[in-house]
């Protein structure tokens, strides 16, 4: 297979503090001072200080190299700010790299946003034409595919209505429909699957699979690891602007999930921290374990242990603890705790084990309550620790986001009832 | 024997592979591009997009307005009426014997084409940042489509002028079309070139200096008074004539009036100088534009 995209040592830097804001007067006074050999009159001391420290430059990408072969689907994963979007922008020629070179063979189309260039006053019909042309289709191509696009978008009856009257769902459906019918040799896609209702998402993912089966090259950036695992042949992992890893999607995703995120797997409290203590009880620290490792990034199919250490400062107290599991909207998913016991002064540890396949993917946080006499909230730490549940398995059917705060694997039974009908007859 | 054959097959395969590897790359993305690397040939590929942008501008401009495209007619007519009142009736500026209304109308119509080109292309980068930040197409598609949209407006407004001229002729109030009228396409091209060239220079500079956006609006207004739009070049006193001669648009305005009204003076060297100036301003404009185009997203 031949190489269709070759990225060689591509770096991109942004100048900090210089983005926008410049006026002719400032530039002129800088130039005037410089020609007289004086220091920059506009440089603030702290800015100059910072400039010396970080060189006034921010490297969004640093010497990234990789190749994409014809017909391959390459996934790009990484956290926010890892340089994914910058990479896609450079590949789409929206902005130029600071150094390095990219060579591309074949027609390329990028979808950094659906509905780019939609004009609110124009009808759906007109916008299909306009958006298609912006994305690189010729008029003839769009005409040929027009009916297909309209059918895919499911908004036949509103096709002559201005798109400003559309619901956001209709808008996105139409926009994706146009994009899905592009026929470039290379397609660059950024998170477009994060749109529309679940049913439409399913359709989009299906279309993406089709595209890759047609032998077109796809470069795909997503936070949805399931989609990356299911659709991509290969993946690269960006972190801090550098390429950390390249390889089979399941390996790259595993590395990505296990690499330290901004979330901490362990939190401890000082003796002096007034929030974590009373004169009777003190919370020492809490941690999350998955597969015997302290981590805030856990996998959906592994069991998760929530553990916390506390100290009983006085003898003879009836002590217990409980946790509140909160979802990303801070709504309580459930409360749990061990029975209370009378404990002598000393240090203790409580661990709670969540079985595999209980939580959905996404962010959760834990509030910890230390109680006396089963009802008195003695020490309370809200959102003591947060963790992220990742779904990394390949899924067969539906690839979109599964909704709900929990996603337990339940037992299902299917029984044929045709016999019963006969019995009644 | 067998071995040799295999060897040959392998060699053949390697050769095929290297052939595929060295086949032309269609796109090269590099940090720097030459000042003269304009890739204007790409514009042909985007001809459909240009025509769709023109159509969009025209269709969307008057959606949800009562009068719609009639505004194209109302604008120059009211302006001309005002000019006639102020400059002809009150200030009593000469019009070289042409009916004042027609004199101002043709001036307004021609000047509007230039002014629209300049002001509407001067915001290319800043106003289209949302679009240009997401998709690549040759960036000159936008200013070119603007110039073409404006040409449509010009056509409509010229139609109004011709109707007015006909009415004047029928009622015997003068107005004389001359052979110079065949120069109109050239004059239009020059106007478009200056508007576009000036506009894209400003658009390139506004990515850094937003101040310029403020300057353009009233700058064009002031420039109109420095150009013989509402007065004939011949009415300018002798010791200011050099200013008129220096202004490349003077000969264009005179040319329009010579063609459509039969009044005015036009010298071929002056017209030649205007064309030369237009080419220069376009070259500088495209150069600046292509230079800024590559990284403007980082600063806008």
Q: What is the pLDDT of residues A61-116, one digit of tens each?
A: 999 999 999 889 999 988 777 888 889 889 988 889 999 999 999 888 888 777 78
**pLDDT band (50, 70, 90) for residue B9:** very low
pLDDT of residue A145: 93
Report CA-CA distances (Å) from B264 to A334, B46, B227, B251, B259. Answer: 89, 41, 14, 9, 9
Q: Sorting pLDDT into bands at 50, 70 and 90, what band is B32?
A: confident
> A-B interface: how many C-beta pairs under 8 angstroms?
123
Task: Please tell me whether the overall predicted TM-score, pTM, comes out greater than 0.80 for this model.
Answer: no
A260 Cβ contact list (under 8 Å, min separation 6): none
DSSP A137: -
Given an 8 Å threshold on Cβ–Cβ distance, is B52 in contact with A139?
yes
- B281-284, long-range: CB < 8 A, 24+ apart: B281/B193, B281/B194, B281/B197, B281/B198, B281/B201, B282/B193, B282/B196, B282/B197, B284/B197, B284/B201
pLDDT of A42: 53
B211 vs A106: CB contact, 8 Å cut-off?
no
The residues with which A304 forms a beta bridge, in sequence order, are A290, A354
Q: Is the Cβ–Cβ distance between A274 and A288 less than 8 Å?
A: no
Chain B partners within 8 Å of A15 (Cβ): 298
| Contact yes or no for B60 and A119 at CB 8 A | yes
Query: Which site among A9, A13, A19, A24 would you substitute to test the B interface, given the most B Cβ atoms closer than 10 Å to its Cβ?
Result: A24
- Cβ-count burial of A313 within 10 angstroms (0-12 exposed, 13-18 middle, 19+ buried)? middle
Do the beta carbons of residue A176 and residue A195 sit within 8 Å?
A: yes
Chain A residues in contact with B37 by the CB 8 A cut-off are none
**Among B154, B169, B123, B138, which residue's Cα sits nearest to residue B261?**
B169
In this prediction, residue A109 carries a pLDDT of: 83
Q: Do A121 and B64 touch (CB under 8 A)?
A: yes
Binding-face residues of A in 27-86 toward B, CB within 8 A:
27
Per 3-state DSSP, chain B is made up of helix, strand and coil in percentages (nearest 5) of 75, 0, 25
pLDDT reported for residue A183: 82
Ramachandran area for residue A129 (φ above 0: left; ψ -120 to 50: alpha; else beta): alpha
CA distance A250 to A334: 32
The nearest alpha carbon in chain A to B206 belongs to A23
Q: Is the pLDDT of residue B4 over 60?
A: no
Distance CA B203, CA B105 (A): 29
- CA atoms lying within 13 Å on the CB side of residue B252: 29
Lowest-pLDDT choice from A280-289, A290-299, B274-283: A290-299
Q: What is the mean pLDDT of residues A178-203?
A: 75
pLDDT tens digit sequence for A357-389: 999 888 898 999 999 988 888 899 888 898 988
Kindly state the average pLDDT of the residues A314-342.
89
* pLDDT attached to residue A19: 41
Residue-level pLDDT at B229: 92
The residue among A49 and A144 whose pLDDT is bigger is A144
CA A332 – CA A324 distance, rounded (Å): 6
In terms of pLDDT, which residue wins out, A57 or B157? B157
């Amino acid at each position: 297979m031949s190489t269709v995209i070759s990225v060689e040592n591509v770096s991109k830097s942004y100048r900090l503090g210089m983005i926008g804001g410049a006026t002719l007067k400032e530039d002129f006074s800088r130039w005037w001072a410089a020609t007289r050999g004086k220091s920059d009159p506009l440089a603030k001391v702290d800015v100059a200080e910072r400039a010396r420290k970080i060189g006034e430059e921010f490297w969004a990408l640093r010497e990234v190299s990789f190749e994409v072969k014809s017909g391959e689907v390459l996934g790009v994963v990484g956290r926010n700010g890892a340089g994914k979007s910058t990479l896609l922008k450079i590949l789409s020629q929206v902005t130029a790299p600071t150094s390095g070179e990219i060579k591309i063979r074949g027609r390329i189309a990028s979808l950094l946003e659906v509905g780019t260039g939609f004009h609110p006053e124009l009808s759906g019909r007109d916008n299909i034409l306009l958006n298609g042309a912006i994305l690189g289709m010729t008029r003839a191509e769009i005409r040929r595919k027009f009916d297909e696009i309209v059918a895919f978008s499911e908004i036949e009856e509103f096709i002559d209505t201005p798109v400003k009257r559309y619901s956001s769902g209709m808008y996105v459906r139409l926009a994706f429909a146009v994009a899905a019918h592009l026929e470039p040799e290379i397609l660059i896609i950024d998170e477009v699957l994060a749109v529309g209702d679940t049913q439409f998402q399913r359709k989009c993912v299906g279309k993406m699979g089709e595209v890759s089966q047609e032998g077109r090259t796809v470069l795909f950036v997503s936070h949805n690891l399931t989609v990356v695992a299911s659709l991509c042949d290969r993946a690269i992992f960006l972190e801090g602007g550098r390429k950390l890893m390249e390889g089979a999607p399941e390996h790259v995703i595993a590395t990505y999930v296990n690499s330290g995120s901004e979330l901490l797997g362990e939190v401890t409290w000082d003796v002096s921290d007034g929030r974590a203590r009373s004169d009777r009880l003190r919370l020492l620290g809490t941690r999350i374990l998955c597969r015997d490792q302290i981590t805030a990034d856990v996998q959906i199919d592994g069991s998760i242990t929530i553990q916390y250490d506390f100290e009983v400062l006085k003898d003879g107290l009836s002590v217990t603890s409980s946790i509140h599991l909160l979802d990303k909207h801070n709504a309580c998913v459930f409360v749990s705790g061990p029975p209370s016991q009378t404990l002598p002064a000393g240090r203790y540890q409580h661990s709670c084990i969540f079985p595999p396949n209980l939580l959905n993917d996404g962010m959760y946080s834990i509030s910890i309550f230390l109680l006396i006499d089963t009802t008195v909230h003695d020490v309370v730490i809200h959102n003591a620790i947060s963790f992220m549940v990742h779904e990394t398995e390949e899924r067969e059917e539906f690839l979109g986001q599964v909704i709900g705060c929990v996603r337990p694997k339940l037992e299902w039974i299917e029984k044929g009832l045709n016999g019963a009908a006969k019995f009644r007859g | 024997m067998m071995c040799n054959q295999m060897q040959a097959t392998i060699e053949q395969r390697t050769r095929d592979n290297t052939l595929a590897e060295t086949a032309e790359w269609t796109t090269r993305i590099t940090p720097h591009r030459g000042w003269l690397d304009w890739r204007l040939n790409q514009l042909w590929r985007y001809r459909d997009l240009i025509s769709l942008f023109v159509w969009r501008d025209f269709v969307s401009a008057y959606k949800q307005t009562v009068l719609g495209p009639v505004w194209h007619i109302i604008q120059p007519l009211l302006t001309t009426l005002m000019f006639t009142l102020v400059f002809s009736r009150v200030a009593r500026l000469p019009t070289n014997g042409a009916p004042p209304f027609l004199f101002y109308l043709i001036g307004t119509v021609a000047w509007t084409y230039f002014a629209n080109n300049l002001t509407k292309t001067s915001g290319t980068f800043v106003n289209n940042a949302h679009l240009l930040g997401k998709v690549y197409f040759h960036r000159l598609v936008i200013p070119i489509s603007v110039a073409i949209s404006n040409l449509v407006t010009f056509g409509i407004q010229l139609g109004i002028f011709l109707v007015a001229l006909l009415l004047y002729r029928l009622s015997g109030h003068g107005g004389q079309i001359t052979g110079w009228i065949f120069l109109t396409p050239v004059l239009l091209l020059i106007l478009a070139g200056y508007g576009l060239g000036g506009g894209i220079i400003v658009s390139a500079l506004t990515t850094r200096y937003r101040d310029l956006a403020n300057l353009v609006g009233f700058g064009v207004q002031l420039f109109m008074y420095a150009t013989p739009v509402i007065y004939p070049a011949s009415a300018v006193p002798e010791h200011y004539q050099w200013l008129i001669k220096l202004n490349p648009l003077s000969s264009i305005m005179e040319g329009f009036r010579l063609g459509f009204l039969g009044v005015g003076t036009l010298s071929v060297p002056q017209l030649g100088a205007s064309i030369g100036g237009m080419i220069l301003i376009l070259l500088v404009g495209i150069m600046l534009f292509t230079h800024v185009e590559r990284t403007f997203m980082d600063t806008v």
